[in-house]
Amino acid sequence: MAVGIFDSGLGGLTVYREIRALMPDLALVYYGDNAHAPYGVRDADDIYALTCQGVSRLFDAGCDLVVLACNTASAAALRRMQEGWVPDDKRVLGVFVPLIEALTERQWGDNSAPREVGVKHVALFATPSTVASRAFQRELSFRAIGVDVEAQPCGGLVDALEAGDLILAEALVRSHVDALLRRMPKPEAAVLGCTHYPMLAEVFQAALGPDVNVFSQGRIVAKSLMDYLERHPDMLGKGTQNLFLTTGLPQSVSDQATRFLRQDIRFAASEIE
């Protein structure tokens, strides 16, 4: 019974942490493609190929259900994967839809027609590829009408976080928030549309001010996954082991992950021996 969690690197650990807190007994296999991070500056074909490779590895590890804990992969690759690549007995879920369901106050999996919602001005912070894909706006338009989205590509932020350079990361958050507020002075909500960014949620909140409701994905994705598994217990998969796999160097990724999550995490090489 293992569920797979995929990210380009360390960011998906913010989703892992919340899934683990909510479902302590669920076996989880984490795959970080650290050798190819960041994805946020790659083109869509490249992101698709790398994401398929990582998800295949998670299928091989006994996961029938994989969560793409990566907005960039969810934006650039998920739809194409679901349309022609994912085998019938497997599922791949993204992180946008649960977030939008929470933002628009819908039940999980409610696919009814779009309607007016309380929030009217939304700030989106994400990687350059996610912003360019407009996937967030597309998924939002299926569920809500009359919402104005202003998106800020946060160049450099994932690199700074992967490198553990928090001083640079905090300075980048402040300058990206300033740039967005010049175009949308009073957002009611802000979406941290990259799974690396919850590590800086407090810095985003301080820069945006107390009136802005900041949405991070970890808890939201964990709750929607729990609901999904209750409705589809057959998707639990046959793996039973908790594992952390990386395409990077296991020792240095383990050290970075331990610093990033402030708990001991040990990665193994993702190649099958």
Residues forming contacts to ligand DGL in the complex (CB under 6 A) are: 7-9, 11, 37-40, 70-72, 127, 130, 158, 194-196
Minimum distance from CB of 50 to ligand DGL (Å)?
10
Between 104 and 216, whose beta carbon lies closer to ligand DGL? 216
CB of 196 to ligand DGL, least distance (A): 5
> Based on CB atoms, which residue is closest to ligand DGL, 71 or 256?
71
φ/ψ region of 135 (left if φ > 0, alpha if ψ in -120 to 50, else beta) reads alpha
Q: Which is nearer to ligand DGL, 20 or 196 (CB)?
A: 196
Output 38 or 237, the one with its CB closest to ligand DGL.
Answer: 38
- Residue among 62 and 71 whose Cβ is closer to ligand DGL: 71
Residue 125 to residues 171, 178, 194, 214, Cα–Cα distance (Å): 15, 12, 7, 11
Distances (CA, A) of 65 to 106, 204, 218: 23, 32, 17
Catalytic residue numbers read 70, 194
- Please answer whether residues 16 and 30 qualify as being in contact, where contact means their C-beta atoms are separated by less than 8 angstroms: yes
Residue 4's DSSP bridge partners are: 29, 66
Supply angle C-alpha 212, 11, 273, rounded to 5. 165
In the complex, the smallest distance separating the C-beta of residue 35 from ligand DGL, rounded to whole angstroms, is 12
Report in angstroms how near the CB of residue 25 gets to ligand DGL at its nearest: 26
Minimum CB distance to ligand DGL, residue 190 (Å): 15
CA distance to 11, 186, 200, 247, per residue, from 159 (Å): 11, 29, 14, 17
Beta bridge partners of 148: 121
